[in-house]
Amino acid sequence: MAKTASTEGSETLSSTGGIPVTVVIPVKNEELNLERCLKALSRFADVVVVDSGSTDRTQEIAIRAGAKVIDFRWDGRYPKKRNWVLINHALPNEWVLFLDADEFVDHRFCDEMAAAVASGRHAGYWLNYTNYFLGRRLGYGVPQKKLALFRVSSGLYERIQEDSWSKLDMEVHEHPTIRGSVGEIRAPIEHNDFRGIDKFLDRHRDYARWEARRFLLLERQSDLDGRSLTTRQRFKYRSLERWWYPWFYFLYAYIVRLGFFDGAAGFQYAFYKAWYFLTIRLMIRELRKCG
């Protein structure tokens, strides 16, 4: 099990009062994104940064901003980072919001979210995102959504049997399984990674390895149409091995979802996502040959 060390910083972030939601930010080497992310969180009652052994200034930035810092070391088994925090740490608020370091909230989002959690109407909320690619805002293409705001007592991220084959210490494409109804926050979060194309490709190569292995796991379990999957996931996993799927995604994102209106950035983003799905397909075929 991972070892922890909690460090209290200054009072830059709110330690009393504020929106009664704990923001949890899982990180590793995020010095280029984290400071801006934290600056937008002054309205929240509690901010926790969970760090996987950063070797840059990530922890220094978090401590200086007043966030609580928890060290995480993954042993390759369940639970991974987000579930580990939910299981092993008594979060001080009823609600938790999971943010990545390259995601930035504004007052519009905070106002809508504060009203939503105060209403008690739902146990969780889907969040919407405004994507940027290489510094350009994408107004079109496939919209991004995540179920990343929910009551701490209402669920955990889905558990996937990935011992020994995954190198990703954080839930990436896993969704929380929520007990209760789920709503939606319409005000978007800005998703804008300042680390450049090299990190984008590295990250998606790791994601592709994970997706290929998960596909084969679901196939062995005869669960490609599983009830635990969302509608979008079921379509994706039924199609990942098909030759046409990367090109279908490109045409859907670039033509049907009007990605061409985003100019060169829209084409490049759709192209790289098609590359990503093609890479998954090739990895699936390679893993089959290796047995």
**Tell me, what DSSP letter sits at residue 79?**
-
**Which of 129, 163, 194 corresponds to the end of one domain?**
194
CATH number at 138 reads 3.90.550.10
Q: Are residues 33 and 127 in the same domain?
A: yes
Report the share of the chain in percent with pLDDT over 70.
91
Q: Where are the beta strands (DSSP E) in the chain?
A: 6-7, 19-27, 44-51, 68-71, 95-98, 103-104, 124-133, 136-137, 144-151, 155-157, 176-178, 182-191
Q: Which of 159, 176, 194 is the last residue of a domain?
A: 194
In a domain, 1, yes or no: no
91-119 residue pLDDT tens? 999 999 999 999 999 999 999 999 999 99
Residues 45, 290: Cα–Cα separation, whole Å = 50
pTM to 2 decimals?
Answer: 0.91
Residues 190 and 259 in one domain: no
CB-based contacts of 167, cutoff 8 Å, min separation 6:
206, 209
Domain that holds residue 69: 6-194
Q: How confident is the model over 177-212, as pLDDT tens digits?
A: 999 999 999 999 999 999 999 999 999 999 999 999
In tens, the pLDDT along 142-175 reads 999 999 999 999 999 988 877 767 788 999 888 8
Decide if 168 is inside a domain. yes
Burial class (CB in 10 A: 0-12, 13-18, 19+), 6: exposed
123, 187: one domain: yes
Q: For the chain, what is the domain count? A: 2
Residues contacting 121, CB < 8 A, separation 6+: 181, 183
166, 218: one domain: no
> At 3, is the pLDDT very low, low, confident or very high (cuts 50, 70, 90)?
very low
Tokens of residue 280, six digits: 């998954």
Same-domain pairing of 42 and 71: yes
- Indicate the DSSP class of residue 152: G
N-to-C CA span, the chain: 30
